[in-house]
Amino acid sequence: MSPQMARATDTFNQLCSALSDAVGTITAQSICKRALSQAGLSSSTLNRQQVDVKLIEDIEYRLRIFCQDEKKISQVRTQLLRVVENVYIHPNYRKPREPAKTSTYGKLCGILSEALGTIMARSICKIALMESEITPAMLDDKGIDSVLLNNIKKSLRGHCRDEEKISLVHRKLQELIWSKVSDEAQIDDLTIDIIYEDDIVTARRQARILAQSLGFEHTDQIKISTAVSEVGRNIINYAGQGRIHLSRYKGKQNGIRIEAKDEGPGIDNLNKILAGRFRSRTGLGLGILGCKRLMDEFSIEAEAGKGTRITMVKYL
Amino acid sequence: MNRLIPIIQYRDLLLISIQIEISDRIVHQLKNDIADTIRIKDVRGVIIEVSGVDLIDSYIACAIRDIGQICKLMGVHTLLVGLDPGMAITLVEMGMEMQGVDTALNIDHAVNILDSYEKDEQVNLNDEIDEDPFDDVLHKLVT
């Protein structure tokens, strides 16, 4: 037997022995063989080809036919991913599809390894990717979406109890998403003309999309779009027309910046409004005050006759 | 103008499920539509389901409060159902008050609440019957 052959059977055997935790040896072997032939591989070429996530998924799918014990299945899954790890770090075969360290996947693993061991970090990444149906190679183009992020956070919580480390990882993940977003300059900066009433809806939808891509949580997304809706309505009701500028805010803390500008009559009873003693005809008189309460930073320039300018910032 | 938000009558309830991003115009129209429908149809409750709304800002909140108060004046209970937790937090933080509008977690709860109102009213009705002087006459006749 050639040495390569021997190594090939190594990987195959590793897969089989991982499976034999849940089912008998013979069943394990036949599952592996069928999965391989389905993927167009043979046990001898297994080592030269990368063991990809699809193969693992296929094996798991076949395993489910024979074994209904979820606990065992998840054990096997971890084992299988460990086998994949071994193949990945095998010196001869790591080159072709091993993601570079600078890739999003590499960074993701690096961040997770702050809280866990390297192998554990990688397997969490892989499981999360598998569950969100993304391959490591796709990650660079697609970016980290909220589904994947939630999957990672969920499985991180399952493996790590240290709250401090978890929050550190969460923060770093956010930063990673952030740096990803900053590469895509086109959604960084957005101006929406507010001329008709329906433009308010457009503005708040855009604000929400931007907030989501910047990594704001669901509740904050709603707060941001609500604030945009309020300032948009002020423009329509009191100035007739104006514009809203949405942009990414970079300071001590990252966030989103909303600027609403119009050339209307300005606001003459500003103090009364900010003190909460004002009732408008149409709303609850909470437009501006509500925005102030929802946002982290709020400033308003509204000299009578010179137009209004509201600037708001919400931190991430 | 055509209705953008359907108002569905189910038995003696009106179900309004808002599943779109609503502009001020649509909200205003909805307010009028509900009032008109209540006048024409024989209903005892209005359920407004807002799980599909993108956000509730001060204008929409005010409109929902108005709808509640209008319905109350017409003798119909209004229940707000399916408020997203994020929206609830936003409403509270903005300091919006929604007097006159009862809320329920889901439509089942809402129907139960409306049923309990109905029962309360029936109990009141029974109380009045108990005090009916005719009862005493009947009682004397029997004895």
pLDDT digits (tens, 9 = 90+) for A277-316: 776 666 666 788 889 899 999 998 888 788 889 999 999 8
Name which of A292, A218, A237, A4 is nearest B89 in CA terms: A218
* Degrees to nearest 5, angle at CA A50 with A49 and A53: 135
Instruction: Give residue-wise pLDDT tens across range B40-71.
Output: 988 989 999 998 888 898 888 888 999 999 99
Element (H, E) at B50: none
Please judge whether B24 and A294 are an interchain contact, meaning their C-beta atoms are less than 8 angstroms apart: no
Interface of B with A (CB under 8 A): 21-25, 54-59, 61-62, 84-87, 89-90, 93-97
pLDDT at A298: 92
Q: Is the pLDDT of residue A129 over 70?
A: yes
pLDDT at A203: 92
Average pLDDT of chain A, as a whole number: 79
From B38's Cα to the closest Cα of chain A, the distance in A is: 23
| Average confidence (pLDDT) over A40-52 | 68
Lowest-pLDDT choice from A167-181, A201-215, B9-23, B40-54: A167-181
Q: How confident is the model at residue A91 (pLDDT cuts 50, 70, 90)?
A: very low
Instruction: Give residue-wise pLDDT tens across range A245-275.
Output: 999 888 888 899 999 998 888 887 777 777 7
* pTM (2 d.p.): 0.60
Name which of A201, A203, A220 is nearest A212 in CA terms: A220
pLDDT at A93: 44
From A230's Cα to the closest Cα of chain B, the distance in A is: 7
pLDDT at B4: 79
Average pLDDT of chain B, as a whole number: 85
| Average confidence (pLDDT) over A97-103 | 54
Higher pLDDT, A117 or B76: B76
Q: How confident is the model at residue A88 (pLDDT cuts 50, 70, 90)?
A: low
Supply the ipTM of this predicted assembly: 0.80
Name which of A200, A125, A201 is nearest A159 in CA terms: A125
Query: Is A277 an 8 Å CB contact of chain B?
Result: no
Mutate to test the interface with A, among B54, B57, B69 (most CBs of A within 10 A): B57
pLDDT at A229: 92
Q: Are A288 and A294 in contact (CB under 8 A)?
A: no
From A59's Cα to the closest Cα of chain B, the distance in A is: 40
pLDDT at A244: 93
Please judge whether A221 and B56 are an interchain contact, meaning their C-beta atoms are less than 8 angstroms apart: no
From B20's Cα to the closest Cα of chain A, the distance in A is: 11
d(CA A268, CA A256): 28
Please judge whether A201 and B86 are an interchain contact, meaning their C-beta atoms are less than 8 angstroms apart: no
Instruction: Give residue-wise pLDDT tens across range B108-117.
Output: 999 999 999 8
Please judge whether B86 and A218 are an interchain contact, meaning their C-beta atoms are less than 8 angstroms apart: yes
Instruction: Give residue-wise pLDDT tens across range A202-245.
Output: 899 889 988 988 888 899 999 999 999 999 988 888 888 899 99
pLDDT at B128: 61
Dihedral-angle region of residue A304 (phi above 0 means left; psi in -120 to 50 means alpha; beta otherwise) = beta
Name which of B63, B2, B30, B24 is nearest A198 in CA terms: B24
Element (H, E) at A110: helix A104-112
Higher pLDDT, A181 or A135: A135
Q: Are A231 and A204 in contact (CB under 8 A)?
A: no
